[in-house]
Every structure is written in structure tokens, then in C-alpha cells.
Amino acid sequence: MEDKIRINIFLKESDNPYASYYSEDDLHLSSDLEDFILSKLHSAKRKNIELLFGGQNNFDEHSLKTATLNSFSNLMKTDERIYARNIKKTIILFVFGIIIGILYLKLQKSHAYIGGILSIVCWVFIWSGTEVYFFDNMQIKQKINKCKNILNANIYKK
């Protein structure tokens, strides 16, 4: 099975594929168009992607390529920062969980009530870190891979 996907984007004459608040020197796609392109990539594992812009419009191919590359490179950089921040957050949550777990072990026999509360708090920190690391970061990593694939895509205007 070939690992290739073609995304057809039909633009009417009245459609504007560019974001409103960027200059002509720094074109970006509109957020709706970014979301549409990302939604067409069901899996981040696709390698060969073709974006075909077509329809009744006067947009040139170079501007569409530039806007696509600018949009998805910015999106990827933002998601990479979020991913790195989540890794730090995970480490901090695990460390707090371990520290509170050690306090729980120290107070378990002498102050059972406080030890019980610390046990719950310990597991909350550990499970929060686990959730961020395994679930939140997995989605972000998939989005980063989709952006990388789009940045390597062949972009054409029909």
C-alpha cells in the first residue's frame, strides 16, 4: 500500500486562504484552512503528502506555498515549546509526588490521618504527571509529526 495522500483544497473566488493580520511579506494560512488540512491527515504516519489548491481564484502558487510553510512551521514551533514545557511539568509533578510519598511513609505510623491524606496527594501528583506525559504529549507529538509531514509536502495550484 502506498503511503501517499492528496488533499484537494477548493477555493472560491470570494475565499481568502490567508490569515487577516499578517503582512504580505509574512503570509500565513487562515486558521480554518490550517484546521481543515490537519483534519485531513488522519494519521501522523503518512509521509508523501500533496496539497492541491484549486478553484476560481487568482492566488499564485508561490504565495500559497509560502503561507502554508509559514503557518505550519509556526504551529510546529509552538507545539514543540508546549511539548518541552509538558516534559518539565511531568518531572516536577513526579518529584513532588515522590517527596510527598516519602513524607507519607515517615508519618504513616505516628499520624495516620495526615499520612492518609498525604497518600492521596502523592498519588494525585504522580497520576497527573502520568496523564500529561502519556496522554497530552502523545496528542501534541502527533500534531508535530503532521506539521513536519505538511512542511515536506508537495504544494501545487491547479
Alpha carbon separation from 78 to 81, 86, 133, 143 (Å, rounded): 5, 12, 17, 11
User: Please, is 88 exposed, middle or buried when counting C-beta atoms within 10 Å of its C-beta (0-12, 13-18, 19+)?
Assistant: exposed
User: For residue 121, what pLDDT is reported?
Assistant: 92
Q: Where are the domains positioned within the chain?
A: 4-157
Identify which of 74, 65, 82, 76 has the alpha carbon closest to the alpha carbon of residue 156: 65
- pLDDT over threshold 50, residue 27: yes
CA 64 – CA 17 distance, rounded (Å): 8
CA 134 – CA 130 distance, rounded (Å): 6
Residues 119-140 pLDDT 10s: 899 999 999 999 999 999 999 9
Residues 67-83 pLDDT 10s: 889 999 999 999 999 99
Identify which of 128, 126, 86 has the alpha carbon closest to the alpha carbon of residue 102: 126
pTM for the model = 0.80
Return mean pLDDT, the chain: 86
